[in-house]
Amino acid sequence: MSQGKQGDFKQLLRELTEVAGPPGHEGPVRELMGSWARGAADEVTSDRLGAMIARKGETGPRVMVAGHLDEVGFMVTRITEEGFLRFQPLGGWWSQVVSAQRVEVVTDKGPLVGVIGSKPPHLLSPEQRKKAVPMDELFIDVGAEDREDAEQMGIQPGDVVVPYSPFTEMANPKHWLAKGMDNRMGCAVAVEVLRRLRDVDHPNTVYGVGTVMEEVGRRGAFTATAAVQPDIGFAVDVGIAGDTPGGNKDQAPGRLGEGPQLVLYDAGHIPHRGLARLIQDTAADEGIPLQHEWIARGATDASHIHLYDQGVPTVSVGVPARYIHSHTSIIHQDDVEGLVNLLVAVIRRLDQEKVDELVRG
């Protein structure tokens, strides 16, 4: 990317990550993603569950580039008499990374900052201290005096909660830290691919898509795919970086700064062999370093995209991220730029003849 495009993309990602949008409550993210996509798309629409669907082109194979709008979060289930909030996780959380973290409670009156509390370690037995505090023993403290005070603040059961973690350029400015990288990164890439292809002559209709409720079973991928009716699918999501202390290259080989990732296997999808080979060949031809990932206990929207109608050749691609499904994650600028360049180059190689060849196998 040029310096100008880098700045635009970083601002796009900054804005997307700082918006609250856990599963089932993606509306503000959808509106923001759509506002960025409108300048590059012929049409921006939605499905009935709230996906963002931006279309560029009218003829040729339909190519779907999809990130998911939602992030892991929580939902308020009850306000205690003392004014503390009990909550239900939205998405996969490990309780060990939750306690003592700042959060934002989204109310009809506006956002409130709180902190996730637990029983102090001084009151735990030696055996209890060795274990992560169970999620159902945690609570959110918003500084309320009692239940009535919390209700006066605007809090009610069903309000959603997200991590409080603003986008930050680290000391090494190519390392970007924020909440919601999973998967505002994929949404930003989908928009950037549309923008990069805006003035490029190619024979495809490209859809930049933000799906909903991926973190609670990839539900929105069903409806968004039905709306797009793609011939080719790319699910764009973060992978797991294994380049931190204790990392295992046999389980998580991804390293920040060494290029985008192609997912070879996950629990819901095996990539289309021909399309995966096209990704690999294009990366080699374009000089884009490519990493490979496999996810034994997890899946992406590709698991549902590839099953639409009689089947859609689909691959899952992304970038490695440190500390996913926590209050903050880190990704690398070079990996994201490589991913955008790779998707643009692959789409330029697609046409009806190539799609027919891929379908024939």
**Nearest-angstrom CA–CA distance, 191 and 188:** 5
Tokens of 331: 């990704």
Q: Binding site membership: which residues?
A: 68, 182, 215, 237, 325
188 closest CA partner among 154, 238, 226: 238
Contact 269, 299 (CB under 8 A): yes
Tokens of 268: 């819901």
**Nearest-angstrom CA–CA distance, 301 and 215:** 10
**Nearest-angstrom CA–CA distance, 311 and 37:** 27
Contact 211, 46 (CB under 8 A): no
DSSP state of 46: -
Q: Binding site membership for Zn(2+): which residues?
A: 68, 182, 215, 237, 325
Tokens of 118: 């637990």
Among 214, 258, 293, 337, the one annotated catalytic? 214
Examine residue 172 and say whether the peptide bond preceding it is cis (omega within 30 degrees of 0). Answer: no
Contact 272, 358 (CB under 8 A): yes
* Active-site residue, 214 included: yes
**Hey, what's the torsion of the CAs at 178, 184, 186, 192, to 10 degrees?**
-100
The residues that are catalytic are 214
